[in-house]
Chains A and B, each alone.
Chain A
Amino acid sequence: MGSRTGSREEHSLQFLNLTKMTTTTASNLPWVEKYRPSKLDELVAHEQIVKTLTKFIENRTLPHLLFYGPPGTGKTTTVLAAARQMYSPTKMASMVLELNASDERGIDVVRNTIVNFAQTKGLQAFSTSSNTGTVPFKLVILDEADAMTKDAQNALRRVIEKYTDNVRFCIICNYLASIVPAIQSRCTRFRFAPLDQKLIVPRLEYIVETEQLKMTPDGKDALLIVSKGDMRTVINTLQSTAMSFDTVSENTVYQCIGQPTPKEMKEVVKTLLNDPSKKCMNTIQTKLFENGYALQDVITHLHDFVFTLDIPDEAMSAIITGLGEVEENLSTGCSNETQLAAVVAAFFEAKRLCVKEMKNLEIEDMEF
Chain B
Amino acid sequence: MSKSEKQQLAPWVEKYRPKVLADIVGNENIVERLKVIGHEGNVPNIVLSGPPGCGKTTSVWALARELLGDKVKEAVLELNASDERGIDVVRHRIKTFAQTKVTLPEGRHKIIILDEADSMTDGAQQALRRTMEMYTKTTRFALACNQSEKIIEPIQSRCALLRYTKLSPVQLLTRVKEVAKAEKVNYDDGGLEAILFTAQGDMRQALNNLQATVNAYELVNKENVLKVCDEPHPDLMIKMLHYCTDRKFFEASKIIHEFHRLGFSSDDIVSTLFRVVKTVELSKNVSEQLRMEYIRQIAMCHMRIVQGLTSKLQLSRLIADLCRVSAAATATSA
Interface residues of A (CB under 8 A from B): 48, 51-52, 55-56, 59-61, 63-64, 68-70, 73, 110-111, 114-115, 125, 136-137, 151, 154-159, 161-162, 164-165, 174-177, 181-182, 184-194, 229, 299-300, 303, 307, 313-314, 316-318, 320-321, 323-325, 327-328, 331
Contact = CB atoms under 8 A, between A and B. Distances in A.
Nearest to B327: A314
B80 A313 contact: no
Nearest to A316: B249
Contact of B53 (A68, A158, A174, A185): A185
A52 B228 contact: yes
Contacts of B116: 154-155, 157-158, 182
B33 to A, nearest CB: 24
A193 B9 contact: no
Given A55-B215, A313-B248, A175 B309 contact: no
A161 B13 CA distance: 10
Nearest to A56: B215
Contacts of A189: 229-230
Contacts of B215: 52, 55-56, 59, 61
B313 A303 contact: yes
B107 interface: no
Nearest to A323: B313
A69 B211 CA distance: 21
Given A313-B247, A320-B316, 17 more contacts: A51-B216, A56-B215, A59-B215, A63-B212, A154-B118, A155-B82, A158-B80, A161-B14, A177-B265, A182-B52, A182-B146, A307-B250, A307-B253, A313-B250, A313-B323, A314-B247, A321-B324
A187 B205 CA distance: 7
Given A136-B9, A165-B10, A320-B320, A154 B211 contact: no
Interface string B195-206: 000000010110
A176 B211 contact: no
B307 interface: yes
A185 B205 contact: yes
Contacts of B314: 324, 327-328
Interface stretch (B131-139, B256-264, B282-290): B256-264
Contacts of A68: 265
A191 B115 CA distance: 30
Given A63-B11, A154-B116, A175-B265, A324 B82 contact: no
Nearest to A157: B116
Interface in B215-248: 215-216, 227-230, 247-248
Nearest to A155: B81
B122 interface: no
A48 B229 CA distance: 11
Contacts of B228: 48, 52
Contacts of A114: 82
B321 interface: yes
Contacts of B321: 321
Nearest to A57: B215
Contacts of B320: 317-318, 320-321, 324
Contacts of A190: 230
A64 B14 CA distance: 11
Nearest to B79: A158
Contacts of B249: 313-314, 316-317, 320
A316 B247 CA distance: 12
15 contacts: A55-B216, A63-B212, A154-B118, A157-B116, A164-B10, A184-B52, A185-B52, A185-B202, A192-B263, A194-B262, A307-B253, A318-B320, A321-B321, A324-B317, A328-B304
B27 interface: no
A191 B267 contact: no
A125 B323 contact: no
Contact of B313 (A52, A155, A159, A327): A327
A318 B320 CA distance: 7
A174 to B, nearest CB: 8
Interface in B56-111: 57, 80-84
B6 interface: yes
